[in-house]
Amino acid sequence: GQQVMQIPQYQHVQEGEDFTTYCNSSTTLSNIQWYKQRPGGHPVFLIQLVKSGEVKKQKRLTFQFGEAKKNSSLHITATQTTDVGTYFCAGRVDSNYQLIWGAGTKLIIKP
C-alpha cells in the first residue's frame, strides 16, 4: 500500500544545533502537510506544501517539497527548547482524500 516513510525516528540535539526530518513517499503526492505534537499534546498544523520544488519558511523552520513531489523535509535552524516535540508529515495522494501519515520524528533537546 501507499506509505510515507519518515526518518529519523528520534533526533537528539544540543540547544542551538540544527534539526532535520525527512519524508519519502512511494507515490507522487498532491500535497504534503506538516504537524507538530508537543509532549502530552495534540497535533498542530504547521504548513501545507502543494507545488513541485516549493520552499516555505516560518521563522527558523524551512519546509521543502521535492521536485518529483515524492519527498519533503523540515529543517529547524538553531533549535530552542520550545521546539521539543514530534514532527509528523502527512501526504495526500491525488484522487484520494486520505492523509498518509509518516511515523514522526521526535526532537529531543539534550540538557
Contact set with other proteins (CB under 8 A): 33, 35, 41-45, 48, 88, 92, 97-99, 101-104, 106
Of 5 and 78, nearer to other proteins (C-beta) is 5
Of 39 and 111, nearer to other proteins (C-beta) is 39
Q: At its nearest, how many Å lie between other proteins and the CB of residue 87?
A: 11
Q: At its nearest, how many Å lie between other proteins and the CB of residue 97?
A: 5
CB 79 within 8 A of CB 109: yes
Rounded CA separation 27/38 (Å): 29
Rounded CA separation 66/37 (Å): 24
Of 27 and 77, nearer to other proteins (C-beta) is 27
Q: At its nearest, how many Å lie between other proteins and the CB of residue 78?
A: 26
Sign of CA dihedral 37, 35, 88, 80: negative
For 81, phi and psi rounded to 5 degrees? -60, -25
